[in-house]
Amino acid sequence: MGISRDDFLNVCITVLKAGDTKSCANLADTTQNETDIFQVHPVEVSAFWMDKYEVTIEQYAICMQPGPSRYCQKITIAPGPKLSDDPKKPQVGVDWYDAMYFCNMRGGRLPTEVEWEYSAKGANNNIFPWGNTFIETNVAHLMERTP
């Protein structure tokens, strides 16, 4: 788990800050002071299942229907150029509690931090899910829906 400071800086400079080394160094310093992300260490991960695709607005709508116990809060999507109310698009704006309730309602659970990181990095501990080289087209669809 974790990421080396050098890999963090490489991702920041290449992906987030378009070559802004100073801002990335400042971000690394702040991150190092606030988290233990740079403490790379091995962990064992037991087998687990995780959904391959994001939860859609249509799927999440079931959770917002009143039931015998707590139900998920209604999510209002404010109009904006990068948000959609298309029922086939991913649901956004869900807090941790409602995400947990939604997973439980479906007979699942939220992943642990270890499972989440393993899913993002894969068995080879990649920087990106597809490998260690940034490929802009692999993240273009993510950037299109970022609010």
Q: Output the DSSP codes for 93-105.
A: ---HHHHHHHHHH
- Say if residue 40 is in the same domain as residue 65: no
Which residues of the chain fall below pLDDT 50? 143, 145-147
Domain-located, residue 113: no
Q: Which pLDDT value is given to residue 77?
A: 65
Domain-located, residue 114: no
* Closest to 57 measured CA to CA, from 83, 92, 23: 92
Instruction: List alpha helices for the chain, DSSP H.
Output: 5-11, 21-34, 57-61, 96-105, 113-121, 136-144
- Say if residue 100 is in the same domain as residue 66: yes
Q: E strands of 47-124, at which residues?
A: none
Domain-located, residue 51: no
Q: Which pLDDT value is given to residue 145?
A: 45
- Say if residue 25 is in the same domain as residue 61: no
Residue 101: CB atoms within 10 A of its CB come to 19
How many Å apart are CA 25 and CA 127, to the nearest integer? 18
- Say if residue 98 is in the same domain as residue 62: yes
- Say if residue 63 is in the same domain as residue 89: yes
Domain-located, residue 115: no
State the total domains in the chain: 2
Domain-located, residue 76: yes
Q: Please give the distance of CA 1 from its chain centroid, rounded to a whole number.
A: 16
Domain-located, residue 118: no
For residue 89, give its domain range: 57-105
Q: Which pLDDT value is given to residue 71?
A: 73
- Say if residue 13 is in the same domain as residue 38: yes
Q: Which pLDDT value is given to residue 109?
A: 95
Domain-located, residue 120: no
Q: Which pLDDT value is given to residue 81?
A: 63
Domain-located, residue 81: yes
* Closest to 141 measured CA to CA, from 58, 11, 54: 54
Q: Which pLDDT value is given to residue 99?
A: 92
Q: Which pLDDT value is given to residue 78?
A: 64
Q: Which pLDDT value is given to residue 123?
A: 85
Q: Which pLDDT value is given to residue 20?
A: 80
pTM exceeding the 0.75 threshold for the entire prediction: no
